Amino acid sequence: MHYELTENEFNRIQDSMRQMDLVTDLCSYVPQGYHALNTDGLQSFLCAQQEVLHATLKALAERQEAQRKANQNAAE
């Protein structure tokens, strides 16, 4: 299947990926056995990223459904 992204959607996904890469890199610097990471802050960050990605995927699914219906109506 082919999904088109708006520039805004693409930028939101790209920003989320960069931010998650940053957190992954930062976590790799924490020595094993050392648990001084603020897990509440990390969870909040990850939830915010998850919301962005879910909202973008929802917009894509809605656009795909609208296009499918438009194609179906045009075929009739």
- Of 13, 65, 28, 20, whose CA–CA distance to 45 is shortest? 20
Q: What is the mean pLDDT of residues 3-10?
A: 82
Residue pair 60/8 in contact (Cβ under 8 Å)? The answer is: no
Average confidence score pLDDT of the chain: 82
pLDDT in tens, 34-65: 666 677 888 888 888 888 888 888 888 888 88
Cα angle at 58 between 44 and 40, to 5 degrees?
5
Biggest alpha carbon distance in the chain? 64
Find where tokens 């520039």 sit. 7
Amino acid in the structure at residue 25: D
